[in-house]
């Protein structure tokens, strides 16, 4: 007989939950039956390259900083969760000739794809609408399985995009990542590690910049007050749209740093190779 620490045992169990989520995604009732879903489960040190790239992206993007700070904190605490990667080639149509993509038939669509397939923010396209729906169904089933196991989980675009560029799930045009755990309450929504990275004022500014409509007073006058403080109507604050050359320069520098980091981690560049 053995005595187990409950939280440690529960966190170790998250790997089994990730396997169950993979089974649920594979069982998902897709519309086309042609999704060709591919999956990997990453654990421990296999997640370090993804975390490093997210940290580099986080220098100029609060979106990735959210995820990077959470993963780094959980790794330092020894509770880094497994991640289920799910991907598929969404550029391949089922040959139904539905015209939903705007082309007359799948043949015309494929001609366009052959000449124009490219990478966007974090995925390759263009994509077939039916395959996008199928992929969403599969990912939804994985998330539902995590919920049925009462596991902390939140599907992440950022992890999937970075995984794609680090050559996970070869042949996929789009990948999403689903961390399963760590055990706790609202780990991927409250994001408490973020409070250790940014001050309260910085976090408020990020939230307002990311979703300004949620902080607007009545907008019918054409210049709505932004609710930047509890008594926002006193000394009102307004939003101003203007170029930001300093940020554009910083973002370009950050993107170059990210590309270099990805190429080194993917083995394209040597670690000590100079720019």
DSSP-assigned states of every residue in 105-126: SHHHHHHHHHHH-EE-SSSEE-
| Residue ranges of the chain whose pLDDT lies below 50 | none
CA–CA distances in Å: residue 203 to residues 191, 200, 207: 11, 5, 6
Count of beta carbons in the 10 Å neighbourhood of residue 7? 12
Give the phi and the psi of residue 69 in degrees, each rounded to 5.
-65, -35
Q: Which residues pair with 86 in a beta bridge?
A: 39, 176
Whether residue 76 is contained in a domain is answered as yes
Domain containing 68 — which CATH number?
3.40.109
How far are the Cα atoms of 43, 45, 143, 145, 236 from residue 86, in angstroms, in the given order? 15, 19, 11, 14, 46
200-258 pLDDT, tens digit each: 888 888 888 888 889 999 888 888 999 988 899 999 998 888 999 998 999 999 989 99
Q: Can you tell me the distance from the alpha carbon of 157 to that of 76, in angstroms, rounded to the nearest whole number? A: 23
Residue 27, SS3 per DSSP: helix
Six token digits for residue 199: 């001050």
83-88 vs 38-42, strand pairing mode: antiparallel
Q: What is the pLDDT of residue 271?
A: 62
Q: Is 250 part of a structural domain of the chain?
A: no
CA–CA distance, 269 with 68 (Å, rounded to integer)? 23
Give residue 77's domain range. 6-196
Please give the distance of CA 22 from its chain centroid, rounded to a whole number.
18
CB atoms within 10 A of CB 225: 17
Residue 161, C-beta contacts closer than 8 angstroms, at least 6 positions apart: 121, 122, 123, 175
Are 263 and 269 within 8 A, CB to CB? yes
The tokens describing 135, both together, are 């992929």
Q: 190-203 pLDDT, tens per residue? A: 888 888 888 888 88
93 in any annotated domain: yes
Question: Residue 245 domain-assigned?
Answer: no
Q: Distance (Å, rounded) from C-alpha 126 to C-alpha 174?
A: 11
pTM for this predicted structure: 0.89
pLDDT of residue 266: 81
Assigned domain for 81 exists: yes
| pLDDT value of position 91 | 95
Residue 265 lies in a domain: no
Predicted pLDDT at 77? 94
Number of domains in the chain: 1
């Amino acid at each position: 007989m053995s005595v187990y620490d409950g939280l440690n045992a529960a966190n170790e169990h998250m790997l089994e939950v990730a396997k169950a989520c993979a089974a649920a995604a594979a069982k998902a009732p897709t519309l086309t039956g042609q999704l060709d879903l591919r999956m990997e489960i990453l654990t421990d040190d296999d997640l370090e390259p993804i975390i490093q790239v997210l940290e580099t992206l986080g220098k100029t993007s609060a979106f990735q900083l959210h995820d990077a700070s959470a993963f780094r904190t959980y790794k330092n605490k020894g509770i880094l969760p497994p991640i289920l990667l799910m991907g598929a080639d969404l550029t391949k149509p089922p040959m139904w000739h539905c015209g939903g993509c705007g082309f007359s038939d799948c043949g015309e669509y494929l001609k366009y794809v052959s000449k124009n397939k490219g990478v966007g923010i974090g995925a390759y396209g263009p994509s077939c609408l039916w395959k996008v729906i199928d992929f969403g169904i599969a990912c939804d089933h994985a998330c539902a399985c995590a919920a049925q196991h009462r596991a902390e989980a939140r599907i992440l675009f950022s992890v999937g995009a970075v995984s794609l560029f680090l050559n996970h799930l070869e042949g996929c045009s789009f990948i999403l990542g689903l961390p399963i755990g760590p055990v706790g309450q609202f780990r991927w929504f409250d994001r408490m590690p973020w409070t250790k990275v940014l001050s309260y004022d910085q976090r408020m500014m990020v939230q307002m910049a990311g979703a300004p409509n949620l902080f607007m007073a009545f907008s019918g006058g054409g210049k709505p007050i932004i609710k930047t403080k509890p008594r926002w109507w006193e000394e009102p604050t307004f939003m101003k749209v203007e170029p930001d050359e300093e940020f554009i320069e910083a973002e370009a520098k950050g993107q170059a740093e990210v590309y270099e980091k990805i190429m080194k981690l993917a083995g394209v560049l040597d670690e000590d190779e100079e720019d």
